[in-house]
Amino acid sequence: MRNSAHTKRLASKLAQDSAQLNHDIALMSKYDGDLSPDSLVKYEGSIQESLGGLSSTLADIGFFLAQTEELAHDKKPPVIVPDFIGKTIEQAQVLIDSAQLENTRVIEKEKEEATGEVYRQYPPAGESIARSDEVQLFVYIGV
């Protein structure tokens, strides 16, 4: 689901960057003979900016495709995130081990009446993720 949204954002950005570049080139071509040297420099600068934006978007797409290809070759199937809410860190560790999660982070927050239990998690329980995706567990600890 996250990959689909990211793909749509990148495609939209690529279309915008391409349209801007086409617009700048069309304007420069149309008025080429009528433009002053200063205006030519302005349009050339605008085209360079458009090319820079397009180049950056293409680099983002390349990076995204490389990550996607790496995940596609990962032989480990995705895992459903367990429900960690209300569990102690020790209980959560058992769930982490059984789900074979590879990247967990515990975020501790001080509180007077700490329970030592997970009060929040990300991603939420039930979401399908790669085993290497980070799972964050938020725990209240004593002051």
Q: What's the CATH code of the domain at 135?
A: 3.30.10.20
Look at residues 57, 73, 89 and tell me which one is the last residue of a structural domain: 73
In CATH, what number is assigned to the domain containing residue 47? 1.20.58
Of 77, 84, 86, the residue nearest 117 (C-alpha):
86
> How does pLDDT run across 67-91, given as a tens digit for each residue?
766 666 666 789 999 999 999 999 9
Same domain, 45 and 96: no
Q: Which domain holds residue 114?
A: 79-141
Mean pLDDT of 95-120: 91
Same domain, 57 and 106: no
Same domain, 24 and 63: yes
Per the model's pLDDT, the better-predicted residue between 7 and 72 turns out to be 7
Per the model's pLDDT, the better-predicted residue between 65 and 117 turns out to be 117
Same domain, 6 and 65: yes
Q: What is the pLDDT of residue 57?
A: 81
Give alpha helix (H) positions in 32-99: 37-73, 89-99
Q: What is the pLDDT of residue 73?
A: 62
Assign 122 to helix, strand or coil. Answer: strand
What is the end-to-end Cα distance of the chain in Å, rounded?
39
Dihedral pair phi/psi, residue 35, rounded to 5°? -85, 140
Q: What's the number of domains the chain is made of?
A: 2
Same domain, 94 and 124: yes
Look at residues 36, 57, 73 and tell me which one is the last residue of a structural domain: 73
Look at residues 27, 52, 73 and tell me which one is the last residue of a structural domain: 73
Of 77, 109, 78, 107, the residue nearest 92 (C-alpha):
107
Same domain, 15 and 58: yes
